């Protein structure tokens, strides 16, 4: 496997499914998506996921919208949210005057915002109507699930107006949870690492970036970084729902992880964030 960022040969596989670039530290997995696999969907408690994420996501979305406000191209910028899920970012952006469009492959989740916004069922960029162009394109916990990140960025460049804004909100390989999961896996406890890669879920992680290698990849496709946000990935109030996302996990294991993370949250807040949002601007005329 060659690195999607710098083209170097990647080392691996490690722990059966992921590879690491020794040159730029980009990491990738060969996990197979299971969007149409009933067993994979049965492993994920979507209700717990929704309840565990909503409050934190909404606060993070407000911060992201504030960060892109200086780059507002017109009074009602056209915004595409790829993987719009329950429509929370569409709600927040619409309230700030954006003309919003969502793109979501899961029909059941898409129904959550039916009638509130323009939402297209499908995949990016395949199902985006020809000729649709936007001032802002956002990926919230989506980009790391997509194969061929370079092809996705080329499609973003084509769908953005000149000077348009691209937001990538995703987990960071520099986060303490990700770093701690590796030695635990080496000691035989692979569950935390598998959970971070979302192994066995309908849409596992295919990539893990850090801010530097992500910025290097974007530079190759004509984007320059204009803002970086460190976002909290955990909060006390919804921690139990987050730990119960995986129906295959045991209650005792979830309870043990809940106690450990409750104690660790004050320390984690002082360390590099497990989630980042990078804002890029297209620096070439397309």
CATH label of the domain that carries residue 63: 3.40.50.150
pLDDT digit string, tens, across residues 186-244: 889 888 899 899 998 888 999 999 999 999 999 999 999 999 998 876 444 444 344 44
Please give the structure tokens belonging to residue 222: 């004509």
pLDDT of residue 128: 95
Q: For residue 163, tell me if it sits in a domain.
A: yes
Query: How many domains would you assign to the chain?
Result: 1
pLDDT of residue 46: 52
Q: Enumerate residues 6+ apart whose C-beta is below 8 A from 276.
A: 169, 170, 171, 172, 211, 228, 229, 230, 231
Q: For residue 181, tell me if it sits in a domain.
A: yes
What distance in Å separates the CA atoms of residue 224 and residue 282, rounded to the nearest whole number? 6
pLDDT of residue 244: 44
Q: For residue 112, tell me if it sits in a domain.
A: yes
pLDDT of residue 239: 40
Buried b (16+ CB within 10 A) or exposed e, 69-106: eebeeeeebbbbbbbbbbbbbbbbbbebebbbbbbbbb
Domain that holds residue 93: 24-282
Q: For residue 139, tell me if it sits in a domain.
A: yes
pLDDT of residue 54: 78
pLDDT of residue 242: 45
Q: Enumerate residues 6+ apart whose C-beta is below 8 A from 79.
A: 93, 98, 99, 100, 101, 134, 135, 136, 137, 138
Q: What secondary structure letter does DSSP report for 144?
A: G
pLDDT of residue 55: 80
pLDDT of residue 51: 61
Q: What is the dihedral of CA 126, 229, 208, 138, to 10 degrees?
A: -10
Q: For residue 12, tell me if it sits in a domain.
A: no
What distance in Å separates the CA atoms of residue 8 and residue 215, rounded to the nearest whole number? 17
Give pLDDT < 50 ranges for the chain. 40-41, 234-246, 258, 286
Q: For residue 19, tell me if it sits in a domain.
A: no
């Amino acid at each position: 496997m060659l690195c999607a960022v710098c083209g170097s040969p990647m080392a691996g596989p490690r722990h059966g499914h992921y590879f690491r670039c020794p040159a730029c530290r980009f990491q990738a997995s060969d996990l197979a998506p299971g969007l149409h696999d009933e067993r994979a969907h049965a492993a994920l408690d979507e209700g717990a996921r929704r309840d565990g994420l909503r409050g934190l996501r909404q606060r993070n979305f407000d911060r992201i919208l504030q960060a892109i406000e200086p780059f507002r191209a017109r009074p009602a910028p056209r915004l595409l949210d790829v993987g719009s899920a329950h429509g929370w970012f569409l709600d927040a952006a619409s309230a700030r005057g954006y003309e919003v469009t969502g793109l979501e492959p899961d029909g059941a989740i898409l129904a959550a915002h039916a009638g509130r916004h323009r939402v297209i069922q499908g995949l990016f960029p395949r199902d985006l109507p020809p000729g649709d162009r936007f001032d802002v394109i956002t990926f919230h916990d989506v980009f790391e699930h997509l194969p061929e990140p370079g092809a996705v960025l080329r499609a973003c460049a084509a769908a953005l107006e000149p000077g348009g804004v691209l937001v990538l909100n995703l987990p960071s390989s520099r986060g303490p949870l990700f770093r701690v999961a590796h030695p635990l896996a080496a000691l035989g406890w692979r569950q935390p690492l598998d959970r971070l890669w979302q192994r066995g879920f309908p849409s596992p992680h295919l990539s893990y970036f850090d801010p530097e290698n992500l910025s290097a990849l974007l530079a190759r496709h004509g984007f320059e970084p204009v803002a970086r946000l460190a976002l909290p990935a955990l909060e006390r109030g919804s921690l139990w729902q987050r730990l119960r996302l995986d129906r295959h996990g045991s209650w005792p294991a979830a309870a043990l992880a809940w106690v450990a993370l409750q104690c660790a949250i004050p320390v984690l807040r002082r360390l590099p964030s497990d989630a980042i949002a990078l804002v890029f601007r297209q620096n070439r005329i397309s």
